[in-house]
Chain A
Amino acid sequence: MNENRKNKKKEPPKFLQPVIDQFFAFLDWIAPVVDWVGDQAERYRAASDAVPPPSPRWVKRRRINSRNLTVTLFLLFLAVMSGFALYLPNRPTHSELENRDLTPFPRASFLRVLGGAYFDDINTWFADTFPARERFLGFQAWAEEHYGLRGQTITGSVVKGDEIPDENQVQPASASGNASEADASASSSASSSAAASSSAASSAAAASTGDASAASSAAQSSESAPKEEPKEEKPAPEQPQEKLPKGESDSGDDGAAAETLDTVLIIKHSAYEYYNFVKELADGYCSNLNRASELLRGKAKVYSMVVPTSMDVCVSEKVRKKFDTSDQAKAISYLYDGMSEDIIKVPLIDSLREHQALDEYLYFRTDHHWTALGAYIGYQNFMTAAGKQALPLSHFKESVHEGFVGSFYRETKSSALASKPDTIYAYAPTGAKKVRFTQTNGKELETKIIRNGDELSASYKYLLFVGGDQPFACIENKKLTDGSSILVVKDSFGNCFCPYLVDSYQKVYMIDYRTFRKVDERTLAQVVEDYGIGEVLFLNNISGTREQKLNNQMNSFIG
C-alpha cells in the first residue's frame, strides 16, 4: 500500500506529462549552451585562481619603464605646478567671475599667530588667490553641471513653511468699526483655530531655524563681500548686515537681515528664493503695523505694501505648486487681513502677475530684488490706493546699466547666472536730482538719486538707487510747494520705488527700519511729528515678514 502510494506520488498527473516532456527536451536542447557557460566560468575561475606565470622579460622591462616614467613625470609636474603656484606675481587679486576682491595676504599679530588663526588666513589666501583660479573654477562649475540629469539646482536647505490659515484670527483692537465682520470671520473659522494654534508651536521652532540658516549664509556672504572703504562724496556700499547690535528688544537672537538668502532655486539662467510662511512672525509683523497706525492716528495716513518675491510672480503656478514654497498671494492676503482697518493696503501681486504674463522684466534673474519696472507697477498701485494720479513711465528719465550679477549669484556662484547678467533700467524723477542721506556711521552725505553705477562692482549695482540702503534719506522736490510729504519705511525693495514718488510729493523721506535706530534715537511717531509728515508707507518684501530679528527691529523703530 505504502509503496503504491509512493509510486503514485512520484508519477505526475497525466495532463502534465507533455509539458514535462517538453521541458526536458528544452533542457537537452540548451544543454550545450549551459555547458559552455559553465566551462567559461570554470576557465575564468581557474585563470583567476592560478598563480600567474612569471612575466616575460619584455613585460618586466616595460613595467620598470612605466614606473620610472610615472615617478619622473609626476615629480616634474609637481615642481612645475608648485613653481607656478608660488610665483607671486601670478596671483590674481580680484575675481571677475565672483565679482569680489580676493583675500589679501594676512597681517601678523601676536595673538593670531599663537592661536593659529594667522595660519588659517594664509591657507585661505593661498587657496583664494591661486593662479588661474578662474579657469579652475570654470572647469569645476562645468563639471558639476554634468553630475546629473536636470539643469535645475537648489542651494541651501529648504525649510517648509507653516500652513497659511484662510482667515486671519488676529483682529486688531483698533478695528472697532467693523466688529460684526470680525465676529463673522471668527465664527466661520472656528474650526481652523485648533489647527492654527497647533501650528504655532512648530512655527516658533521654524522661526529659529530660518534665523540660523540665514545667519550661516550671512557669515558666508560677509566673507565674500568686498570690503570697500567709504570714499569721499560717494556713499559707502551696503555693509554686511550681521554686524548690527543684538536685537534691541526681548529676544537677542542671531538672525540676519533680509538681504541674506536662505534657499535658492536655479532654473536655467534665473534664480528664485524660497519663501516659508511662519505664522507667528507674520502675526508679529501685523501687530507692529497695527501699533504704528494707532500711534499715528490723526497725524498721518498709513499704507502697507507687501511685495512678493520673484518666486510667486515669475514662476508659473503649475510649476510652483511642486515646490516647498509657501503661497505668497495667500500669505499677503493673510497679512492684509491681520492689519487694522485704518491701514490702507496696497494690492499688488495680481497686477504684477498680469504684467509678468506680458513678459515684462519685473524681477532680476540674478538678484532677489524687483526691477525698477516692477517697482513702477507698485507705484501705480500705490497711487491708486492713495487716490492720486500716477505719472506715466515716460515721464521719468530712463538710464541703462548693464552687467549686473546680483545676490543670487553671490550666494550660488552659479555659472548659469554669471553667463547671463541682468541689466538695470533706472528711472529718475524730474523734480530733483540729489538725495541727502545719513550713513550707518552717522555721516551725512549727498548723492545723485540714480547714480551712474560704474563705481559699484558688478554684484552691487543695485545700490545705485537712492544711495543704497541708508538708515535715513530725504529727497526734496523744489518744484513742488504744496507741503506734501511721505515717509517710506522700507527695506531694500524700496530703493528703486522711491524715485517715482519724488514728482508727486514735495518731500520724500526714506527710513531703513533695520538700521535707523543705530544712527537716530527717534521713533516713528517722533519722526512723523518732527517733519510734519502726512503719509507713511510701509514697504517691505515678503521675506521681511518671517524673521524674528526684523520684527524686533521694526518693533523698536515704532517704539
Chain B
Amino acid sequence: MVFSSLLFLYAFFPLNMLFYRFVPGLRAKNWVMLIFSLVFYAWGGPAYVLLLVGMTYVDYLCALWIDASRRKNERRRWLWRGCATNLGLLCVFKYLTFLCQNLHMWVGFPWVPRIALPIGISFYTFQLISYMVDVYRGQVPAQREFKVLLLYISLFHQCIAGPIVRYETIEQELTGRKFRRSDMAGGIRRFTIGLAKKALFANHCGALADAFLTQADAAGQLSVMLSRPALSIWLGAACYTLQIYLDFSAYSDMAIGMGQMIGFHYDENFNYPYCAVSIRDFWRRWHMSLSSFFRDYVYIPLGGSRCALPRVIWNTLVVWALTGLWHGASWNFVLWGLYYFVILMLERYVLRGAPERWPRWANRLYVLLLVGFGWLMFRCEDLNVLQAAARGLLGLNGNGFSSYETKTLLWSNLFFLIAACVACTPWLMDQGAKLERWAERKKGAMRLQQVIQVASPMVLMLLSTAALVGDSYNPFLYFRF
C-alpha cells in the first residue's frame, strides 16, 4: 500500500486512528500499531512479512547476546553475525540478479535468477543495522521485548520508504509516549501538506518529465531521446528534479506527520535541498537520515577525515559507491554515486569550499545544474540513453533548440511549473511565519490565520483526492530502493 492511495487515506488510516484512539493503555495501542503495520506491509505481498519478522527476530537475539556478553570479542562476533545476516539477505534479494546479469554478460555465467525486491528491504535493513551497532556501542540498551522491536522496525510510517529512523530517536517513545493536542494538530498539517505535495505536484511533474524526456521504463527510449530538442531535455530534467524532491520529501512529510499525530517524533529528512549553496550543503539537506547513516556507520568507523589524505579519499569513495549502489542495483546508480564523489572531492580539495562564498545566484545555479544532471543519471538506467541525453542537453543531437511540442507542453503547464518550483522553497512557510507574527498584533490577521489553519488540511485533502481518483501515475519513486 502507498500513502497516496485512496484505500490508505480513506480506509486504512482512519481505521487505524479509530482503533488507536479507543483502545485503552499504551500497550494495547502498541498492539494496534503493530497489527496495522504488519497488515500494511503484507499488502505488498504477504510472503515477505516472514522475511521482515525473521530478520528482526535474528537481530533481536543478536542484540540481546551483544548486551549479555562481557568480552569485547564476543560482542563483536555477535554484531558481525547479525550484520552478516542482514547484509547477506539484502544482497541476495537486491543485488544477486544484478551480479548474475553482469557475470552473464562478461564471463557467460549461465544462471540469472529473477528475484522480486521485497518492499522496503533497503530501509529496514539499515534500521536493524543501526540498532545493533548502537547496542554494540552501548548507546542504547538492547530491547527485551521482541514485539517492541518489531514495532520499531515494521511501523508503517517509515518501514517501507524511510526516513531511516534510528532506534535511539524513538526508544523512549516506543514505550512511553504522550498524546498532545498540539502534536496532533501539527501532525495533521504536516501529513496533509505531504499528501498535497505528492498528489498535486509530484505526480504531474512525473508525467511531464515523461513527456519531455521519454517514458521512464519503455524499451527503445534511446531513439526517442535522440530526437528530442535541447529545450525539451532541459525541461524534462528540471521536471524530474522537481518530481524526485517533491515525491520523496512528501513521503517523509507524511511519515513524520503521522508519527507526530500519535506522539512519535522522527528526525527531519529534508531541509530544502534545492536551496543549498554547495554540493556538500546539498547532501546535508537531502535525505539526511541516509547520509547521516553512512556517516555514522561507514565513514567514521573507517576513520573519517582524521586520516592521511589518500585514506580520506578512499573512505569517501567507499561511502559514495555504497550510496549509489544502495539506490538501486544498476550501473547508473553506481555512476551517480561516483559523480557525487568526484564533485565533493573537487569542492573540498580544489575549490576549497569556494561555492559557498560565491554570490547567492551563482552557487544556487551551480548546485541546481549539477544536481539536475545527477538526477538525469539517476533516471536513465541505460547508459546509452544517458549519453544521448547528455549530448541532447548541449544540442549535439541536431534537433535544434525547441519544437512546437516542447513549447506547447511548456506553455500549457507554465503556472503549474512555477508553483512546483515555489513548493521546493521555504517561501510559503516563511509567509506562514510572517502571518503568525502579524496575527499577534492584529485581530483581523489572527482570524485569517485561524481560518487558514483550520481549513487548509481539509482543502488539501479534498484537492489531493480529486487528483488521485483519476490518476494512474502514482507509485512513490523511493519504493524501488
Interface of A with B (CB < 8 Å)?
52, 55-56, 59, 62, 65-71, 73-75, 77-79, 81-82, 85-86, 113-116, 119, 122-123, 126-127, 130, 133, 136-137, 139-141, 143-144, 146-160, 202, 205-206, 208-209, 211-213, 216, 220, 254, 265, 322-324, 413
Q: How far is B215's CA from A212's CA once the two chains are assembled, in angstroms?
A: 10
Residues of A within 8 A of B1 (CB): 119, 123
Residues of A within 8 A of B465 (CB): 81, 130, 136
Taking a contact as CB atoms under 8 Å apart, the answer to whether B5 and A323 are in contact is no
Taking a contact as CB atoms under 8 Å apart, the answer to whether B404 and A139 are in contact is no
Taking a contact as CB atoms under 8 Å apart, the answer to whether A123 and B5 are in contact is yes
Q: How far is B450's CA from A216's CA once the two chains are assembled, in angstroms?
A: 48
Residues of A within 8 A of B472 (CB): 220
Taking a contact as CB atoms under 8 Å apart, the answer to whether A136 and B47 are in contact is no
Residues of A within 8 A of B45 (CB): 114-116, 119
Extra 18 A-B pairs, beta carbons < 8 Å, given A59-B440, A114-B46, A127-B6:
A52-B437, A62-B450, A123-B7, A123-B43, A126-B6, A126-B7, A127-B469, A140-B470, A148-B411, A149-B411, A150-B408, A154-B409, A159-B224, A206-B223, A208-B223, A209-B221, A213-B220, A220-B472
Q: How far is B181's CA from A86's CA once the two chains are assembled, in angstroms?
A: 27
Residue from B181, B204, B218, B469 in contact with A213 in the complex, judged by beta carbons closer than 8 Å: B218
Q: How far is B408's CA from A25's CA once the two chains are assembled, in angstroms?
A: 52
Contact sample, A vs B, 14 pairs, CB 8 Å cutoff? A77-B461, A85-B11, A116-B45, A116-B47, A123-B7, A127-B6, A130-B469, A137-B470, A149-B414, A152-B412, A153-B408, A208-B220, A322-B404, A324-B403
Q: How far is B189's CA from A67's CA once the two chains are assembled, in angstroms?
A: 10
Report the minimum CB–CB distance from B309 to chain A (whole Å).
40
Taking a contact as CB atoms under 8 Å apart, the answer to whether B185 and A140 are in contact is no
Residue from B10, B415, B458, B466 in contact with A73 in the complex, judged by beta carbons closer than 8 Å: B458
Residues of A within 8 A of B408 (CB): 150, 152-154, 265
Residues of A within 8 A of B413 (CB): 147-148
Taking a contact as CB atoms under 8 Å apart, the answer to whether B454 and A66 are in contact is yes
Residues of A within 8 A of B409 (CB): 154
Counted as pairs of residues, one from A and one from B, with CB atoms less than 8 Å apart, the total is 193
Q: How far is B410's CA from A116's CA once the two chains are assembled, in angstroms?
A: 39
Taking a contact as CB atoms under 8 Å apart, the answer to whether B405 and A323 are in contact is yes
Within 8 A of A (CB), among B398-434: 399, 403-405, 408-416
Taking a contact as CB atoms under 8 Å apart, the answer to whether A70 and B414 are in contact is no
Q: How far is B198's CA from A505's CA once the two chains are assembled, in angstroms?
A: 61
Residue from B6, B414, B450, B468 in contact with A66 in the complex, judged by beta carbons closer than 8 Å: B450
Report the minimum CB–CB distance from A93 to chain B (whole Å).
15
Residues of B within 8 A of A213 (CB): 215, 218, 220, 224
Q: How far is B14's CA from A67's CA once the two chains are assembled, in angstroms?
A: 20
Contact-residue bracket for chain B? 35 or more
Residue from B188, B214, B220, B466 in contact with A140 in the complex, judged by beta carbons closer than 8 Å: B466
Residues of B within 8 A of A79 (CB): 14
Interface of B with A (CB < 8 Å)?
1, 5-7, 10-11, 13-15, 17, 42-47, 181-182, 184-185, 188-189, 192, 204, 210-211, 214-215, 218-224, 226-227, 399, 403-405, 408-416, 437, 439-440, 446, 449-450, 453-454, 457-458, 461, 465-470, 472
Report the minimum CB–CB distance from B417 to chain A (whole Å).
8
Q: Which 9 residue pairs of A and B lie closest in terms of their CB atoms, listed nearest first?
A: A116-B45, A160-B227, A147-B416, A205-B223, A148-B412, A209-B220, A322-B404, A85-B10, A82-B14
Contacts A127-B7, A157-B215 given; indicate if A115 touches B47 (C-beta within 8 A). Answer: yes
Report the minimum CB–CB distance from A129 to chain B (whole Å).
10
Taking a contact as CB atoms under 8 Å apart, the answer to whether B469 and A136 are in contact is yes
Residues of B within 8 A of A74 (CB): 188, 192, 457-458
Closest to A113 in B: B46
Taking a contact as CB atoms under 8 Å apart, the answer to whether A71 and B181 are in contact is yes
Taking a contact as CB atoms under 8 Å apart, the answer to whether B17 and A323 are in contact is no
Report the minimum CB–CB distance from B137 to chain A (whole Å).
37
Report the minimum CB–CB distance from B471 to chain A (whole Å).
8
Closest to A69 in B: B454
Taking a contact as CB atoms under 8 Å apart, the answer to whether A212 and B457 are in contact is no
Taking a contact as CB atoms under 8 Å apart, the answer to whether A147 and B415 are in contact is yes
Taking a contact as CB atoms under 8 Å apart, the answer to whether B46 and A116 are in contact is yes
Most buried by A among B46, B188, B224: B224
Residue from B10, B410, B414, B454 in contact with A86 in the complex, judged by beta carbons closer than 8 Å: B10
Report the minimum CB–CB distance from B389 to chain A (whole Å).
14
Taking a contact as CB atoms under 8 Å apart, the answer to whether A324 and B466 are in contact is no
Taking a contact as CB atoms under 8 Å apart, the answer to whether B440 and A56 are in contact is yes
Closest to B452 in A: A66
Closest to B189 in A: A70
Q: How far is B246's CA from A478's CA once the two chains are assembled, in angstroms?
A: 68
Taking a contact as CB atoms under 8 Å apart, the answer to whether A146 and B415 are in contact is yes
Residues of B within 8 A of A82 (CB): 10-11, 14-15
Residues of A within 8 A of B450 (CB): 62, 65-66, 69
Most buried by B among A116, A144, A202, A216: A116
Taking a contact as CB atoms under 8 Å apart, the answer to whether A67 and B182 are in contact is yes
Q: How far is B210's CA from A158's CA once the two chains are assembled, in angstroms?
A: 11
Residue from A126, A150, A157, A209 in contact with B211 in the complex, judged by beta carbons closer than 8 Å: A157
Residues of A within 8 A of B189 (CB): 70
Residue from A75, A113, A148, A206 in contact with B416 in the complex, judged by beta carbons closer than 8 Å: A148
Most buried by B among A70, A152, A265: A70
Taking a contact as CB atoms under 8 Å apart, the answer to whether B224 and A119 are in contact is no
Report the minimum CB–CB distance from B443 to chain A (whole Å).
8
Q: How far is B189's CA from A416's CA once the two chains are assembled, in angstroms?
A: 35
Closest to A128 in B: B469
Residues of B within 8 A of A70 (CB): 185, 188-189, 453-454, 457
Residues of A within 8 A of B204 (CB): 144, 147
Residue from A55, A130, A202 in contact with B6 in the complex, judged by beta carbons closer than 8 Å: A130
Report the minimum CB–CB distance from B412 to chain A (whole Å).
4
Residue from A52, A78, A216 in contact with B17 in the complex, judged by beta carbons closer than 8 Å: A78
Contacts A85-B6, A133-B469, A147-B412 given; indicate if A157 touches B210 (C-beta within 8 A). Answer: yes
Taking a contact as CB atoms under 8 Å apart, the answer to whether A157 and B224 are in contact is yes
Q: How far is B461's CA from A323's CA once the two chains are assembled, in angstroms?
A: 39
Residues of A within 8 A of B227 (CB): 159-160, 206, 324
Q: How far is B14's CA from A154's CA once the two chains are assembled, in angstroms?
A: 38
Residues of A within 8 A of B218 (CB): 209, 212-213, 216
Closest to B468 in A: A127
Residues of A within 8 A of B457 (CB): 70, 74
Residues of B within 8 A of A119 (CB): 1, 42-45
Contacts A66-B453, A137-B469, A148-B411 given; indicate if A216 touches B14 (C-beta within 8 A). Answer: no
Contacts A66-B450, A149-B414 given; indicate if A413 touches B185 (C-beta within 8 A). Answer: no
Residues of B within 8 A of A122 (CB): 7
Closest to A119 in B: B43
